[in-house]
Amino acid sequence: MPRQRIHVQIDGLLSVHAVRAARTALGSIPGVESAEVSMRGAVLESEGAVAAPLIADALAMVGLTLSTLRTEPAGLPVLGDRESESEP
């Protein structure tokens, strides 16, 4: 499964305690390998896709709300990989 980086905007991150609660909740989602959370939002690293409802449910358990979600591939392209080569 390809690694993914998930950028999450969270409503309700108003204190350090909320940031810690979000980090704990997001880190407990199956497939999430790391969760960096700040007052601006979170960046998750996962092995494969993580469904948005799982993220929303984890945040709701600690009184926070998922605002937006953006997913991108994590890691660098491999030289010689057909998907990373540009067309002439």
In a 13 Å sphere around the CA of 80, the CA atoms on its Cβ side amount to 0
d(CA 48, CA 38): 23
In this predicted structure, the answer to whether residue 84 has a pLDDT above a threshold of 60 is no
pLDDT at 85 over 50: no
Q: Does the structure show a pLDDT above 50 at 24?
A: yes
Is the model's pLDDT at 33 over the cut of 50?
Answer: yes
Question: What rounded mean pLDDT belongs to the chain?
Answer: 87
Strand partners, 65: 11
Residue 79 has pLDDT above 80, yes or no: no
User: In this predicted structure, what is the pLDDT of residue 73?
Assistant: 84
Assigned CATH for 3-73: 3.30.70.100
pLDDT of residue 65 exceeding 60, the answer is yes
User: So what's the pLDDT on residue 42?
Assistant: 96
